[in-house]
Amino acid sequence: MNSSSDFLVVGAGIFGVTTALELRSRGYEVTMIDPGPLPYPLAASTDVSKVVRMEYGDDLQYMRMVIRAIEGFHRWNEEFGENLYHETGVMVVSKTAMSGDDYLESSYRAVLEEGLKPERLSAEEIGRRFPAWDTGRYVDGFYHARGGYAESGRVVGKLVERAEQAGVSVRPGQTADKVLTDGSRVLGVRTREGENFAADHTVLAAGSWTPWLLPELQRVMTATGHPIFHLKPKDPAIFRPPGFVVFLADTPNTGWYGFPLLREGIVKVARHGGGPSLHPEDDERVVYEEDFAQMQIFLEESIPSLLDAEVVYTRRCLYNDTLDEHFWIDRHPEREGLSVATGGSGHGFKFGPVFGELIADTVEGKANDWAPKFRWRELDAKTQGVEASRFHGDAEEA
């Protein structure tokens, strides 16, 4: 073996780097490998922004995890000496009135019952407070001041720097290729670059690459691609907070969400829905003509002032989707010395400040109140995704 440590973390995205930092803080020798450069351009974490919102329908655990995570994002801002989390607030709107247990009402009720103060929005209030949305298509909703977005790629970069400063052996340029075993015990991994990394315990936090490194997971998770557009508006002023904020535009029925003007001078619009299954390296991550057409339809009925914006960049973000859309964080039930921390399913980044403790507790075998939701579990082809804000329509339409 070329290198040995207490823990080997495979992957330096938001799951991996927070795990490495937490394990190091507990006194372990930790090595973290990643194809690099860091942040890795093909990783889901590497983007200009990710939504931070606690609106999860009636799923109280996710809501409370985000409440804790937001505290962590504020702490990171102080520690980084730079605001990479922006609390613009979040606007959640719908084309129909709140009713029963739909996503809009259940989210609104949940945050109210938690003692928070979302502000209900009528159609008139939506148009008055957020003029770019004054189309009359959205008739109900709320604005929640607690939430916003994180500059995800920059956050990961800062965390990698902290890991190096804390004594984690960070090894970019190392692509995990094979899990090394002795019987049922995992010894570490071999990389394409020809190095072997040994550890008492290996944590696979490799996102969409994980089921290819551990083929038994391919029956419960896959990689799917989702369109992202960067739009450069002709009139940037109307897309700045407080008149334009992070938005969820009837997402259970449309999938569309987005951000106010980012530091790059763009408005990012994306779709949280179904998506074609893709190999993380072998398939192109391109946005299709149908994606452009659907985006134009969305803008025309929702934010027509963006219709003449220049599309300056597109990306197909790769989700590591579990069948039920919950994360997969657990020790392997049959392989000693191996844990898995993955399955972001398009909504994982916002939990970054709480992932480290959760994952480290799990791999150490310590009790954690949040861990049971993400345990190793049996899923089959009939399993349905349950992330409440996601559009679960036909994959081709998303």
Question: Which H or E run includes 227?
Answer: strand 221-232
Return the amino acid letter for 398. Answer: A
Percent residues over pLDDT 70 in the chain: 98
CA 70, CA 141: separation in Å to the nearest integer?
22
- Does the pLDDT value for residue 301 go beyond 90? yes
Report the chain's mean pLDDT, rounded to a whole number: 96
Return the amino acid letter for 360. Answer: A
- Does the pLDDT value for residue 396 go beyond 50? no
Give me the mean pLDDT over the 338-366 stretch: 98
> Which pLDDT score is estimated for 321?
98
> Which pLDDT score is estimated for 150?
98
Q: Is residue 29 packed enough to be buried (19+ CB in 10 Å), middle (13-18) or exposed (0-12)?
A: middle
For residue 52, CA distances in Å to 267, 315, 334 come to 16, 20, 35
> Which pLDDT score is estimated for 394?
55
Count the Cβ atoms, other than its own, within 10 Å of residue 253.
16
CA 284, CA 286: separation in Å to the nearest integer?
6
- Does the pLDDT value for residue 2 go beyond 70? no
> Which pLDDT score is estimated for 364?
98
pLDDT band at 141 (very low <50, low <70, confident <90, very high): very high
| Superfamily holding 87-145+222-319 | D-Amino Acid Oxidase, subunit A, domain 2 (3.30.9.10)
Q: pLDDT by residue (tens digit) across 310-329?
A: 999 999 999 999 999 999 99
Domain boundaries, the chain: 3-45+153-221+323-397, 87-145+222-319
CA 177, CA 174: separation in Å to the nearest integer?
9
Q: pLDDT by residue (tens digit) across 326-338?
A: 999 999 999 999 9
Q: 3-45+153-221+323-397 maps to which CATH number?
A: 3.50.50.60
The token duo for 70 is 């937001």
Q: Could you give the angle at the alpha carbon of 120 between the alpha carbons of 116 and 126, nearest 5°? A: 135
> Which pLDDT score is estimated for 100?
82
Nearest Cα residue to 261 out of 101, 105, 132: 132
Percent residues over pLDDT 90 in the chain: 96
Give me the mean pLDDT over the 2-25 stretch: 95
Q: pLDDT by residue (tens digit) across 64-87?
A: 999 999 999 999 999 999 999 999
Give me the mean pLDDT over the 267-275 stretch: 97
Give me the mean pLDDT over the 84-92 stretch: 98
> Which pLDDT score is estimated for 393?
84
Q: Is residue 182 packed enough to be buried (19+ CB in 10 Å), middle (13-18) or exposed (0-12)?
A: exposed
> Which pLDDT score is estimated for 398?
31
- Does the pLDDT value for residue 27 go beyond 80? yes
> Which pLDDT score is estimated for 397?
38
Q: How many residues does the chain have?
A: 398
User: Please, which residues have CB within 8 angstroms of residue 27's CB and are 6 or more apart in sequence?
Assistant: none
Q: pLDDT by residue (tens digit) across 188-228?
A: 999 999 999 999 999 999 999 999 999 999 999 999 999 99
Q: Is residue 9 packed enough to be buried (19+ CB in 10 Å), middle (13-18) or exposed (0-12)?
A: buried
Contact 160, 12 (CB under 8 A): yes
